[in-house]
Amino acid sequence: INILFPDIIKEQNRELRGTQRAISRDRAALEKQEKQLELEIKKMAKTGNKEACKLLAKQLVQLRKQKNRTYAVSSKVTSMSTQTKVMNSQMKMAGAMSATAKTMQAVNKKMDPQKTLQTMQNFQKENMKMEMTEEMINDTLDDIFDASDEEEESQDIVNQVLDEIGIEISDKMAKAPSAARGLPCASASTAATISDEEIERQLKALGVD
């Protein structure tokens, strides 16, 4: 029906335009007859033919009524033409609204609110999981590399301290006298300080000959 309606409107508009043109032609013909009757009435009046003037006057009245009817009919035709144009515009809007409604219906079927909400919630949940996983991985990597850096840094400090201590010990050992140099040998000391006479004296004192 919607497909045939525009064709019907066009056909009606063509008929209304044709009717309007026919009415305009009839009115023009009536106006021409009106002028002729007016001239005839004037002629009859000049000749004093009152009966003829009355008959012609009656015809003139009827003719003018008919001419007025053409104006009324023409106005009605114009109104109908306007109405058909309005109806055509309304049907176009109705068609557009129908197409839009079908599109919206199809979209609403595809975009189920519950499914859409569930999808958004799932996305948010999975996104949070991904962020947490990424954060845990980053923390683990940071711990691994930070621990390695701390171990290397600690080892560097220990090595530095040991080097410093080693250098101090070497300096002290280099400067300090050795045990051999610092302490006299026992045999040498005894030989240097105890004489044979002293040994014999001590033996006699002990009763040893």
Total of domains in the chain: 1
SS3 sequence, 13-69?
HHHHHHHHHHHHHHHHHHHHHHHHHHHHHHHHHHHCCHHHHHHHHHHHHHHHHHHHH
Model confidence over 28-73: pLDDT tens digits?
A: 999 999 999 999 888 888 888 888 888 888 989 999 999 999 998 8
In a domain, 182, yes or no: no
Model confidence over 146-190: pLDDT tens digits?
A: 655 555 666 666 567 666 666 544 444 445 454 444 444 444 444
Residue 99 structural domain:
1-129+153-168
127-151 mean pLDDT: 76
Gap between the Cα atoms of 17 and 78, Å rounded: 9
pLDDT at 85 over 70: yes
Gap between the Cα atoms of 65 and 43, Å rounded: 23
In a domain, 201, yes or no: no
The answer to whether 70 and 29 have CB atoms below 8 angstroms apart is: no
In a domain, 180, yes or no: no
In a domain, 202, yes or no: no
From the CA atom positions of the chain, what is the Rg in Å? 67
The answer to whether 37 and 59 have CB atoms below 8 angstroms apart is: yes
For residue 3, the 8-state DSSP code is T
In a domain, 196, yes or no: no
In a domain, 208, yes or no: no
Interaxial angle between packed helices 50-110 and 5-47, expressed in degrees from 0 to 180 and rounded to the nearest 10: 170
Q: What is the pTM of this model?
A: 0.42
